[in-house]
């Protein structure tokens, strides 16, 4: 059976850690790619990772490169390239610079891996994945963004910490844009099958949701010199696994919504079925009036961001 070919563009902390998770899970052969100015850095990280395979017991060919030629014919391309956040920066502060980086990357991906499924991780996420769609011209089901899996993982973590239970027993869903306008879905959140609203008071639950919204900024503030990478990389690897193994996972992703939820042609976090075809279905939920209002606010924020981006690229 032919192994999947996975290219990860950006060999920084998020990209290299994604490569680590994917290799350890034997999801396929991996190309770790970075810009020419990094010279041999991606080669060094790839070789180091390869040398961990006898210890951890996985088989995967891992190549580091600064050339897109080595990535040709990839089944999945993960884009983590871009400037990381620094303390005091919002995701939106990265818009202009990272939009230009996304344009350059996607121009190359379109030429070298025209049949790939593209997963965007770069911030500001919802605008960057919109840019990836614009530049590649790929079908929308083959271009998606990693945000919902990460946001939900943070939410589940905080809920488990609050209740003193296993994270495995917490099932949750967040929708909307990646950032301060993300929309919690209490009706889709449970612990061991028990609705979370029966376990946590509304005011305390809102505090946990707010911490989730600011989860990335909290880590940026603690690290001082970087941003989160373990959880974003793990979330990305889960999406790669769903695609290369055709697992049909029902998970939240930044997906292109047109008629769905009345979004009108923008990327926003929604529950999807993720498999070998990329986004195989967008699952439309019946939202409460309060949830719909919050979701629309989040969509409007994404639309404004995309509008600003259009004037910068």
Tell me, what's the pLDDT at 91? 60
Strand partners, 145: 120, 254
Q: How far is CA 267 from the centre of its chain?
A: 12
Sheet with strand 278-282: strands edge to edge: 62-65, 29-33, 5-9, 76-79, 117-120, 143-145, 249-257, 266-275, 278-282
Low-confidence ranges of the chain (pLDDT < 70): 85, 89-92
Burial of 90 (0-12, 13-18, 19+ CB in 10 A): middle
Listed in sequence order, the residues at least 6 apart from 55 whose beta carbon sits closer than 8 Å to its beta carbon are: none
DSSP string, 237-255: HHHHHHHHTT--EEEEEEE
Burial of 141 (0-12, 13-18, 19+ CB in 10 A): middle
The rounded distance, in Å, linking the Cα atoms of 70 and 144 is: 23
* Topology adopted by domain 5-145: Rossmann fold (3.40.50)
Tell me, what's the pLDDT at 180? 80
Tell me, what's the pLDDT at 24? 96
Listed in sequence order, the residues at least 6 apart from 288 whose beta carbon sits closer than 8 Å to its beta carbon are: 187
Active-site residue, from 5, 85, 178, 303: 178
Tell me, what's the pLDDT at 226? 83
Tell me, what's the pLDDT at 139? 98
Tell me, what's the pLDDT at 307? 94
pLDDT digits (tens, 9 = 90+) for 166-204: 999 999 999 999 878 889 888 899 999 999 999 999 999
Q: How far is CA 230 from the centre of its chain?
A: 12
* Maximal CA-CA distance, the chain: 55
Q: What angle do CA 312, 228, 243 make, to 5 degrees?
A: 80
Tell me, what's the pLDDT at 89? 67
Q: Is residue 20 annotated as part of the catalytic site, yes or no?
A: no
Q: Coil, strand or helix: which one is 99?
A: helix
Listed in sequence order, the residues at least 6 apart from 49 whose beta carbon sits closer than 8 Å to its beta carbon are: 16, 19, 20, 23, 32, 62
Per-residue tokens: 48 = 């180091």
Tell me, what's the pLDDT at 90? 67
Q: What angle do CA 69, 75, 80 make, to 5 degrees?
A: 75
């Amino acid at each position: 059976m032919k192994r999947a070919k996975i290219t990860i563009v950006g060999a920084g902390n998020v990209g290299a850690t994604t490569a680590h998770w994917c290799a350890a899970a034997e999801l396929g052969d991996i190309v770790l790619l970075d810009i020419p100015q990094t010279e041999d850095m991606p080669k060094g990280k790839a070789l180091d990772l390869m040398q961990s395979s006898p210890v951890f017991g996985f088989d995967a060919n891992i190549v580091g490169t600064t050339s897109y030629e080595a990535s040709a014919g990839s089944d999945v391309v993960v884009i983590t390239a871009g400037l990381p956040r620094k303390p005091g920066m919002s995701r939106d502060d990265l818009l202009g610079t990272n939009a230009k980086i996304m344009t350059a990357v996607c121009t190359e991906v379109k030429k070298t891996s025209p049949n790939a499924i593209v997963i965007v991780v770069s911030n500001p996420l919802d605008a960057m994945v919109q840019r990836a769609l614009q530049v590649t011209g790929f079908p929308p089901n083959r271009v998606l963004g990693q945000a919902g899996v990460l946001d939900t993982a943070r939410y589940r973590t905080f809920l488990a910490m609050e209740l003193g239970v296993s994270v495995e027993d917490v099932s949750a869903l967040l929708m909307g844009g990646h950032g301060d306008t993300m929309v919690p879905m209490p009706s889709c959140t449970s612990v061991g099958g028990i609705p979370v609203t029966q376990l946590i008071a509304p005011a305390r639950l809102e505090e946990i949701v707010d911490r989730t919204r600011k989860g990335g900024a909290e880590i940026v503030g603690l690290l001082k010199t970087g941003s989160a990478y373990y959880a974003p990389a793990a979330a990305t690897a889960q999406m790669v696994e769903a695609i290369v193994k055709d697992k049909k996972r029902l998970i939240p992703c930044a997906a292109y919504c047109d008629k769905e939820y009345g979004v009108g042609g923008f990327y926003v976090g929604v529950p999807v079925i993720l498999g070998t075809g990329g986004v195989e279905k967008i699952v439309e939920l019946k939202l409460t009036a309060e949830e719909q209002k919050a979701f629309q606010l989040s969509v409007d924020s994404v639309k404004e961001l995309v509008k600003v981006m259009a004037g910068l690229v």
